[in-house]
Amino acid sequence: MTEYAKFQPWLDWLDQRYDETLDRLKSWSAINSGTGNIDGLDRMRDVILDAFAELDAKTAIIDLPDSEAVAADGSIAPVRYGKLLHFSKRPQAPVRVLLCIHYDTVFAIDSPFQTQRLIDENTLNGPGVADAKGGILTILNALSALERSPFAGGIGWDVILNPDEETGSIGSAPFLAEHARAADFGMLYEPALEDGTLAGARKGSGNFSVRIKGRAAHAGREFHAGRSAMVAASDCVMRLDQLNGKVGETTFNIGKIDGGGPVNVVPDNAVVRFNVRVSNHDERHQAENEIADVIAAINQRDGITAELHGQFGRAPKPMAGRTKALFEWVRELSHDLDLDIAWKPTGGCCDGNNLAEAGLPNIDTLGVRGGLIHSDQEFVKLDSLIERAKLSALILMKAGSGDLPDALKKTEI
Ligand SMILES: [Zn+2]
């Protein structure tokens, strides 16, 4: 019997899950679970709990702490999140794996994109079909196959489904990091590209807001007594933009300026919002220093105060060390399924960045094949539903059979 043949019965078993998986994907896509739609996230969680019951895992529903955001008028407003789902099985097993994906989408309750449509017999269009409800179903199918196999006893697993990834996982990040530290490797279910290519190295990312306060005055009667927050914001924008090209490959993107009001008033309020992408930790520290200098310069302006809010929510994820070893091992395994897994770097980021930062080697695009995510053209290739579940099932069974390469085992710190 070849190595692969011993896993084959449970991989073949997955073929019969196709119809049920497709039905679920359509009905799950029809539930709006935009990050801010707490009711929709509650409904989504209920159907996930129902589906995952077959795994007979220890289940917890976790409240996430509120975070805060700077509103357009410069005030600080609380941000609420949905609840996080955590499933766990065999925590004492010799190998432990963490499987994660988000169950929120970028499509808010008032988005016009709420329906599902077959584009052709292999392509389904709908919110979240690829990003990432197809990924949740991939986890479910892979674990179902594992649990039916004789290799399950050799591997323990945690599944984390978070409700806030699309806004940066600010609420769920501490929980992800805590569980990342306990696992040998991580499997994340963001979609792969349409041709099956995975994301390799990822840039780190931070979202920031600068609150700028000036002094209001009547534009006609006492213009010179005013201190314009809008002019200070413009200065801030130009200084931030000039940082492009100064810190390696780091980019500084000004996304939005809020503020001002009637044109007969010198404006006393403005908020500048920007995103920064860094390739490595050095760039991140340099970028932080440069941003601090810009804020200091704005505070030098007469009658103006500037205050920085925000953070790097995503650390860079380099393709190196145990993460590289994991990719190479999975590529080798994929040949048994007649796949040839390839990967390429991306400027995008996801929870795979957070897991890597916590020391967990991980592949973060083990979900379905699809594309045009975050748009109303989002699609999934339906022949990838079972194909990708088989890939994950093979990884899990192989690791559970005692064949995880030593290089991938967690080293005690
Ligand atoms: Zn996603």
Please provide residue 22's backbone torsions phi and psi, each rounded to the nearest 5 degrees.
-65, -45
Residue 413's pLDDT band (cuts 50, 70, 90): very low
Residue 333's pLDDT band (cuts 50, 70, 90): very high
CA of 135 to the centre of ligand 1 (A): 9
CA of 289 to the centre of ligand 1 (A): 30
Residue 411's pLDDT band (cuts 50, 70, 90): low
Q: Please give the distance of CA 305 from its chain centroid, rounded to a whole number.
A: 34
CA of 138 to the centre of ligand 1 (A): 14
Residue 2's pLDDT band (cuts 50, 70, 90): low
CA of 383 to the centre of ligand 1 (A): 20
Distance CA 79, CA 27 (A): 28
Distance CA 309, CA 70 (A): 8
CA distances from 3 to 7, 48, 97, 333, 398 (A): 8, 34, 22, 10, 9
CA of 307 to the centre of ligand 1 (A): 31
CA of 237 to the centre of ligand 1 (A): 29
What does the pLDDT read at residue 66?
Answer: 92
Distance CA 182, CA 160 (A): 13
CA of 171 to the centre of ligand 1 (A): 16
What does the pLDDT read at residue 347?
Answer: 84
What does the pLDDT read at residue 3?
Answer: 79
Distance CA 204, CA 193 (A): 20
What does the pLDDT read at residue 231?
Answer: 98
Both tokens of residue 160? Answer: 């984390």
CA of 350 to the centre of ligand 1 (A): 7
Residue 353's pLDDT band (cuts 50, 70, 90): very high
The predicted-structure confidence for 192-231, as pLDDT tens digits, reads as follows 999 999 999 999 999 999 999 999 999 999 999 999 999 9
The predicted-structure confidence for 273-328, as pLDDT tens digits, reads as follows 999 999 999 999 999 999 999 999 999 999 999 999 998 989 999 998 999 999 99
What does the pLDDT read at residue 412?
Answer: 54
Both tokens of residue 39? Answer: 């009711």
The predicted-structure confidence for 107-156, as pLDDT tens digits, reads as follows 999 999 999 999 999 999 999 999 999 999 999 999 999 999 999 999 99
CA of 363 to the centre of ligand 1 (A): 14
The predicted-structure confidence for 5-26, as pLDDT tens digits, reads as follows 999 999 999 999 999 999 999 9
CA of 166 to the centre of ligand 1 (A): 7
CA distances from 242 to 183, 229, 252, 273 (A): 42, 20, 9, 15
What does the pLDDT read at residue 408?
Answer: 84
Cis ω before 132 (30° cut-off from 0): yes
Strand order in the sheet with 123-125: 117-120, 123-125, 379-381, 370-371
Residue 167 has pLDDT above 60, yes or no: yes
The predicted-structure confidence for 33-61, as pLDDT tens digits, reads as follows 999 999 999 999 999 999 999 999 999 99
The predicted-structure confidence for 238-285, as pLDDT tens digits, reads as follows 999 999 999 999 999 999 999 999 999 999 999 999 999 999 999 999
Residue 348's pLDDT band (cuts 50, 70, 90): confident
CA of 68 to the centre of ligand 1 (A): 22
Distance CA 233, CA 239 (A): 10
DSSP state for residue 263 in the 8-state scheme: T
CA of 412 to the centre of ligand 1 (A): 31
Q: DSSP E strands: which ranges in 11-154?
A: 58-62, 67-70, 76-79, 84-89, 95-102, 117-120, 123-125
CA of 118 to the centre of ligand 1 (A): 21
Q: What is the mean pLDDT of the chain?
A: 95
Instruction: Give the long-range contacts of residues 295-299, CB within 8 A, separation 24 or more.
Output: 295/210, 295/236, 297/235, 297/239, 298/210, 298/212, 298/232, 298/235, 298/236, 298/239
Looking at the DSSP bridge assignments, the partners of residue 251 are 277
- Nearest Cα neighbor of 141 from 315, 393, 400, 334 is 393
Using a cut of 0.85, tell me whether the model's pTM lies above it. yes
Percent helix, percent strand, percent coil in the chain, to nearest 5: 40, 30, 35
Beta 185-188 vs 362-363: how paired, if at all? parallel
CA of 400 to the centre of ligand 1 (A): 27
CA of 108 to the centre of ligand 1 (A): 15
Q: Please give the distance of CA 30 from its chain centroid, rounded to a whole number.
A: 21
What does the pLDDT read at residue 203?
Answer: 94
